[in-house]
Amino acid sequence: MAVITESHLRTEMLKGTLSNPYFVSNNHRLTPAAYDFLRDRGIRVKKLDNHLIEQGVQKQALSIPVGVSNRHVHLSSDHVEVLFGKGYKLTPYRSLSQPGQFAAEETVVLVGPKGSLSRVRVLGPARDLTQIEISRSDGFIVGIHPPVRLSGAIDGTPGITIVGNVGSITVSQGVIIAKNHVHMSPNDARQFEVKDGDCLIVQATTDRPVIFSEVVVRVNERFSLDFHIDIDEANAANLKTGDLVKVIGKNGKLFG
């Protein structure tokens, strides 16, 4: 007999997995405080046999929230100093879904052979390598056509000129179109029955139900569950940050 405590319910609420009704299997028992916790929130308790519970859990586990990334740059600390001044440190403006990552107050201008993009957000903290992530549509504006790559894989990618409010720099490589990916914790990975490097097949549940057939899974203790796509992909599928996509297969095979 397993006991479900109030603090367990609070954790589920924070993770967004607290369902209404709340299903309790016949080998689980709620503490009185846990009962009160659910009653105070108008959540009904439903007893179910184990088979049905597993189906319920499975259903919840098969959705992933979407995070849409606009064009942005990651800078090395050397490049931060060139663009913004000696000893300069980026100023956090808004925290991002992945712990420790932030959108900085600082923005730059990206200049390519055909045109420029202004007010491009810098993301922090500073990294080892400078990387510039744009969409294919942005590429037409600046006249640069980068490959689709996972973050960090910048060998052989095109360069660009980055202008800050103190100086500018031309990098010889580092421009990519980010390959879509899912961040998840080892715990999520267990639920989804995947490991780092696997690929999920996910589908938008919008009026443009686009299927993304090769979504790379990235597992890390510090990651929270998030499906990262760029603006072009979001617009093609009518998706926005916070929407859910459905997992419909993995590693090239649709679920039966």
Binding mask 177-216 for Zn ion (x = CB under 5 A): ----------------------------------------
3, exposed or middle or buried, with CB in 10 Å at 0-12, 13-18, 19+?
Answer: exposed
Minimum distance of Zn ion from residue 85's CB (angstroms): 29
Minimum distance of Zn ion from residue 96's CB (angstroms): 9
Q: Which stretch binds Zn ion (CB under 5 A): 164-172, 188-196, 225-233, 247-255?
A: 225-233
Minimum distance of Zn ion from residue 216's CB (angstroms): 10
Nearer to Zn ion, 81 or 233 (CB): 233
Nearer to Zn ion, 106 or 230 (CB): 230
User: What gap in Å lies between CA 213 and CA 253, rounded to an integer?
Assistant: 9
Cα–Cα nearest to 248, from 90, 91, 59, 98? 59
Minimum distance of Zn ion from residue 177's CB (angstroms): 13
Residue closest to Zn ion, measured at CB: 228
Q: How many CB atoms lie within 10 A of CB 129?
A: 14
User: Which tokens in the block code for residue 30?
Assistant: 């709620």
The answer to whether residue 71 forms part of the interface with Zn ion (CB under 5 A) is no
Nearer to Zn ion, 81 or 230 (CB): 230
Minimum distance of Zn ion from residue 184's CB (angstroms): 11
216, 197 contact by CB (below 8 A): yes
Binding mask 34-63 for Zn ion (x = CB under 5 A): ------------------------------
Instruction: Assess whether the previous peptide bond of 125 is cis (omega < 30° from 0).
Output: yes
71, 116 contact by CB (below 8 A): no
User: What gap in Å lies between CA 227 and CA 216, rounded to an integer?
Assistant: 10
Q: Which stretch binds Zn ion (CB under 5 A): 14-22, 28-36, 111-119, 221-229?
A: 221-229
Nearer to Zn ion, 218 or 250 (CB): 218
Q: How far is CA 102 from CA 142, 226, 232, in A?
A: 25, 15, 22
Nearer to Zn ion, 74 or 250 (CB): 74
Nearer to Zn ion, 131 or 164 (CB): 131
98, exposed or middle or buried, with CB in 10 Å at 0-12, 13-18, 19+?
Answer: middle
Cα–Cα nearest to 212, from 167, 243, 181, 172? 181
Which of 132, 228, 233, 247 touches Zn ion (CB under 5 A)?
Answer: 228
Residues touching Zn ion, count (CB under 5 A) = 1
23 Rama sector, left if φ>0, alpha if ψ -120 to 50, beta otherwise? beta
Residues of this chain that bind Zn ion (CB under 5 A): 228
